[in-house]
Structure 1
């Protein structure tokens, strides 16, 4: 089998099965594990897969830059955002993580909401100007790829706040990889925010389900639920539900 055909097959298996075990696929194709690992390295370098111990997982398309992500699955994000906003009680203090789904939450949040919103995203803070809620903006080094503050100063500021809810954005939601994102500093900031909220809900628009990125954020047992509009019979949604994860289906 030619290398190009092997890679197409590996991508198809990732799409269908949600993971590849190098040893198993090598035995199936009658090839060496080294050949499969080499193919997986090349797919990883192209951003089409994420190599993990023993194989690979589907790469998330949500690691693109902020401007590009605005155009990805907008209807899915609106449905997830509406379901998330419905969880916010009047007077609550909430943390909105950065990202395009949390930005959609601003549109879903009533302008007359009387509560407090904390965010490390200047984009989200600016979108809240016409809302009645009090808005606190966490500062720090601007990670331009995601338009959020990260780094030591931002984490230090985050450690001084507390909130009822955090709505967390990630780029990958995978049964074995957990909740992941594409940057180590951003992952650390997300963990810091989660440590300051009584409950954390993950925003899971359709393009993130069944995919993974390079850096782990949290495990599923550290969050109160995953909000998604992915159908209940979706393989990833079903596997998460069977594992005891609270999957909240939007719309």
Structure 2
């Protein structure tokens, strides 16, 4: 099989199955495992796959720079943001992650909502200027790729806050890899913020479901739920349900009254 044909087959299998096991595929195709691994290394280098032990997972398209991410699935992010915003009740203290979905969540919040919002995102903080909410900004070194504070100083500052709810953004939600993102320091910051809140909900637009990035953030069992508008009948969503993940529907399937009931215990 020519290299171009193998490459397309690998991409098709990643899209279909959500993973590739190099040993199994090599046996199926009657070629060496080293050949498959070399192809996977090349796909990984091009950002089309994420290599893991024994094979590879689909790469998330959400690891591009901040400006480019604003153009990725904006309608999907808006749907997820609407549900995420509905979880924020008057009087709550909420930690809001950085990223384009978090920014859309601010846009979905009533401007007169009386609450406290904590963020390490300069863009999120700026978007809250016209809101009634009290805003606390966590400082540190600026990670320009995501326009958020990261690093040791930011983690130390985050340890001094706590909240009722953390709205977490990631670049990948995968039944095998868990919650992932593209930078090690950013992953550490997200873990710290999650540890400071009673509940953590993941904001995951459709392109992030079934995809993975290089650095682990949290296991699926470490969050309260995943808000997503992805097709509930898709392979990736079925696998997440089988893994015991609480999936909160967004978009046309969303029932905001039911979502609000999750917070109130109804």
Q: Same fold (TM over 0.5)?
A: yes
8 Å contact 1:231–1:249 — kept in the other structure? no
TM-fit CA distance, 1:236: 1.2
- The answer on 1:37 being equivalent to 2:53 is no
TM-fit CA distance, 1:99: 0.6
Mapping of residues 80-229 of structure 1, within 5 Å:
80-229=80-229
Counterpart position of 2:51: 51
Cα shift readout 1:89-131 (whole Å, capped 9, x = no counterpart): 1110001101100000001110001000000001000000000
Structure-1 separation of matches of 2:73 and 2:165 = 24
SS state of the match for residue 117, structure 1? Answer: strand
Structure-2 separation of matches of 1:7 and 1:247 = 33
Moved over 6 A (4+): none
Runs (5+) with no aligned partner, structure 2: 252-266
SS state of the match for residue 210, structure 1? Answer: coil
SS state of the match for residue 153, structure 1? Answer: helix
8 Å contact 1:179–1:217 — kept in the other structure? yes
TM-fit CA distance, 1:237: 1.2
TM value normalised by structure 1: 0.99
Alpha-carbon RMSD across the aligned residues, in angstroms, is: 0.6
8 Å contact 1:44–1:51 — kept in the other structure? yes
SS state of the match for residue 14, structure 1? Answer: helix
8 Å contact 1:175–1:210 — kept in the other structure? yes
Counterpart position of 2:254: none
TM-fit CA distance, 1:80: 0.2
TM-fit CA distance, 1:235: 1.2
TM-fit CA distance, 1:240: 1.0
Cα shift readout 1:202-228 (whole Å, capped 9, x = no counterpart): 001011011000000000111000000
- The answer on 1:25 being equivalent to 2:25 is yes
TM-fit CA distance, 1:187: 0.3
TM-fit CA distance, 1:247: 0.4
TM-fit CA distance, 1:242: 1.9
8 Å contact 1:92–1:164 — kept in the other structure? yes
Runs (5+) with no aligned partner, structure 1: none
TM-fit CA distance, 1:177: 0.3
8 Å contact 1:117–1:134 — kept in the other structure? yes
- The answer on 1:78 being equivalent to 2:98 is no
Structure-1 separation of matches of 2:94 and 2:113 = 11
Structure-2 separation of matches of 1:38 and 1:106 = 44
